């Protein structure tokens, strides 16, 4: 008993308590680590099962899909990380506007540009050597590298323009449906979700993403601004600006949607009239280059032998 209440006993008791706390913390940390590992294994197993379920055939995908394609993807990402990161945000914005084609990340896109530049360099070198031309041997690799490096950028710009054109054409009809849904009593987010479910295309995908962001807790104004940045269409930007202003001032969303849908229909009609006015000029160029020469050949062709014969007779006299 004296030993129990002595300083030595107190020190032993404190040491045992500290040891018990350390063991408990380590056990808790170990259990948490095991739980995390189990969750990761379960998630990985679920992804593997989903991939197997979606893969056709007994082999569940070819060798290209299972080995070559993932390895090439990792290699392209590694190349992209070597590029300077100053333009990553700008490239991310372009990819968002283009709709993330192929689920590309900025690292993937930069790596693809570097890889194609290297491929163009090699092709230009071999072409210059095969041509046996000193100038081609000098400028061929340079031209190939520049073309390979710039080709993905032009492709991305084309995808951006196509998607922006699709969104711009679909916006008036989508606003009409939004107006009907809101006037029928649906909330703005529910109306967006309904349009996203009933509509198919880039604009409906952006509506669904906008609703998801709002329901995750993002402020409506901030979610609308992100939606406008992803679309990068002037009509969408003006629509979002008016919506944010109406939301801040407490104006009726239904009235704003109705006025915006009418304005978008007017803009669409004006664009159609503008394209119709430009059509004769474009047709005139095509007629001068392709139709008129063929027409002249058909009309004047039979008279050419007689004209040649008449001139030859005059020269003979």
Q: Is the pLDDT of residue 41 over 50?
A: no
The residues, ordered by sequence, that sit 6+ positions from 108 with a Cβ below 8 Å of its Cβ are 73, 76, 77, 80, 102
> What distances in angstroms separate CA 2 from CA 11, 12, 14, 15, 16, one per listed residue?
14, 14, 17, 18, 18
Q: Is the pLDDT of residue 91 over 70?
A: yes
Domain at 170-273: CATH code = 1.20.81
What are 190-244's pLDDT values in tens digits? 888 888 888 788 888 899 899 999 888 888 889 999 999 999 999 899 989 988 8
- Tell me the pLDDT band of 40, cut-offs 50, 70 and 90: low
What percentage of the chain reaches a pLDDT higher than 90? 9
Q: Choose from 49-53, 137-141, 213-217, 297-301 the range with maximum mean pLDDT.
A: 213-217
Comparing 281 with 5, the larger pLDDT belongs to 281
Q: Is the pLDDT of residue 35 over 90?
A: no
CA-based nearest residue to 227, from 216, 214, 245, 246: 214
pLDDT confidence of residue 72: 60
pLDDT confidence of residue 34: 46
Return the domain boundaries, the chain. Answer: 77-163, 170-273
Rounded mean pLDDT, 30-45: 48
Q: Is 154:130 a contact under the CB 8 Å cutoff?
A: no
For the chain, the first-to-last Cα distance in angstroms comes to 152
Mean pLDDT of the chain: 76
Q: Is 206:227 a contact under the CB 8 Å cutoff?
A: yes
pLDDT confidence of residue 75: 60
pLDDT confidence of residue 163: 93
How long is the chain? 317
Q: Is 175:167 a contact under the CB 8 Å cutoff?
A: no
Distance CA 96, CA 91 (A): 9
Q: Is the pLDDT of residue 69 over 50?
A: yes
Rounded mean pLDDT, 278-301: 82
Lowest mean pLDDT among 3-7, 148-152, 224-228: 3-7
Distance CA 162, CA 201 (A): 12
Distance CA 205, CA 227 (A): 11
pTM value > 0.75: no
């Amino acid at each position: 008993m004296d030993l129990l209440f002595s300083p030595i006993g107190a020190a032993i008791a404190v040491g045992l308590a500290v040891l018990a706390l350390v063991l408990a913390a380590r056990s808790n940390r170990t259990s948490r680590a095991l739980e995390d590992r189990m969750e990761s294994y379960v998630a990985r197993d679920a992804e593997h099962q989903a991939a197997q379920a979606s893969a056709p055939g007994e082999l569940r995908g070819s060798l290209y899909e299972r080995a070559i394609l993932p390895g090439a993807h990792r290699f392209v990402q590694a190349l992209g990380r070597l590029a300077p990161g100053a333009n990553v945000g700008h490239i991310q914005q372009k990819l968002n506007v283009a709709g993330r084609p192929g689920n590309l990340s900025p690292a993937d896109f930069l790596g693809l540009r570097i890889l194609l530049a290297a491929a163009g360099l090699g092709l230009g070198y071999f072409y210059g050597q095969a041509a046996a031309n000193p100038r081609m041997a000098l400028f061929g690799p340079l031209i190939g590298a520049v073309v390979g490096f710039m080709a993905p950028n032009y492709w991305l710009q084309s995808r951006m323009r196509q998607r922006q054109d699709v969104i711009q054409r679909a916006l008036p009809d989508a606003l009409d449906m939004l107006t009907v849904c809101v006037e029928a009593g649906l909330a703005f987010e529910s109306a967006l979700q309904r349009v996203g479910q009933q509509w198919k295309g880039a604009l409906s995908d952006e509506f669904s993403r906008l609703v998801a962001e709002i329901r995750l807790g993002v402020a409506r104004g901030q979610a609308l601004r992100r939606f406008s940045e992803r679309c990068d269409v002037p009509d969408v930007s003006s629509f979002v600006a008016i919506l944010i202003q109406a939301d801040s001032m407490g104006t009726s969303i239904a009235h704003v949607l109705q006025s915006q849908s009418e304005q978008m229909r007017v803009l669409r009609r004006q664009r159609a009239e503008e394209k119709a006015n430009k059509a004769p000029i474009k047709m005139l160029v095509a007629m001068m280059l392709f139709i008129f020469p063929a027409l002249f050949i058909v009309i004047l062709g039979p008279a050419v032998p007689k004209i040649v014969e008449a001139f030859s007779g005059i020269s003979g006299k």
